[in-house]
Amino acid sequence: MFKGKNYKESAKLIDKATLYDPTEAFDLVIKASKAKFDETVELHVKLGVDSRHADQQVRGAIVLPHGTGKTRKVLVFCKPEREEEAKEAGADFVGGQELVDKITGENWFDYDVVVATPDMMGVVGRLGKVLGPKGLMPTPKAGTVTPNLAQAIKEIKAGKIEYRLDKTNIIHCPVGKVSFGTEKLNENFNALIGAIIKAKPAAAKGQYIKSCVTASTMGPGVKINQAKLVG
């Protein structure tokens, strides 16, 4: 894989063999950020679980203290009588069957989160094969299937993110932007890692957090000392 000049310069700041304290790690991520835009800072956490087993799934949602730095577009499925409520709470798109038709007919994905009231899941369920692979299917566990529309929309707009395992047992999540600075990134990180530790399945054996790496969009990864974390 080709690595540009900026990446190579940034990589010199980081010792690949070192496990850094979280604060030091975010300091380095910020220093290594050379892009001309405000890069997203991501966390990649490898867990000692097997996502093929239902009792070892790790999934949930959390409102980050400082948000993600990104305004997220919310699509809401609800009955006509609740559409105004959803719009007032900040939903970007609101509707029912017509939105299902738009998604299936036009391959439309101009939104970041999908929320649905429980009484709409009969309609939304038909989108499982379309939304599922993109991680957009609403679920009660993520708080995106709920009768409390206004609360759900406001939390998402405030910086609520969903964390879930991929097929390689890694959770990938944004923890903010480079412009946040070390302190805010560290506070978001602590909130997210705390939620992941709390979500440890009873069936998980041995070391829970195998590795923890943070990186900006275009920058090199920095390893965080997982021994400093519970789990």
| pLDDT at res. 1 | 45
| pLDDT at res. 145 | 96
| pLDDT at res. 7 | 64
Q: Is residue 10 over pLDDT 70?
A: no
Q: Is residue 83 over pLDDT 50?
A: yes
Q: Is the separation of the CB atoms in 32 and 216 below 8 Å?
A: yes
* Domain ranges across the chain: 5-67+160-228, 74-157
| pLDDT at res. 135 | 87
Q: Do the domains at 5-67+160-228 and 74-157 have one common CATH topology?
A: no
Place of tokens 């679980």: 49
Of the chain, the percentage scoring pLDDT greater than 90 comes to: 73
Going from the C-alpha of 128 to that of each of 51, 100, 121, 155, the distances in angstroms are 19, 11, 10, 24
| pLDDT at res. 3 | 60
| pLDDT at res. 215 | 94
Q: Is residue 231 over pLDDT 60?
A: no
Q: Is residue 111 over pLDDT 50?
A: yes
Query: What is the reported pTM?
Result: 0.79
Pairwise CA distance, residues 99 & 107, whole Å: 11
Which of 58, 1, 41 lies closest to 210, judged by CA?
58
Q: pLDDT grade, residue 142 (50/70/90)?
A: confident
Q: What is the CATH number of domain 74-157?
A: 3.40.50.790
| pLDDT at res. 34 | 85
pLDDT digits (tens, 9 = 90+) for 164-221: 999 899 999 999 999 999 999 999 999 999 999 999 999 988 899 999 999 999 888 9
Q: Is residue 37 over pLDDT 90?
A: yes
| pLDDT at res. 51 | 87
| pLDDT at res. 74 | 97
| pLDDT at res. 2 | 44
In CATH, 5-67+160-228 is 3.30.190.20: yes
Which of 159, 149, 89, 80 lies closest to 117, judged by CA?
149
Mean pLDDT over residues 85-110, rounded? Answer: 96
Q: Which residues contact 10 (CB under 8 A, 6 or more apart)?
A: 31, 32, 33, 34, 219, 220
| pLDDT at res. 152 | 95
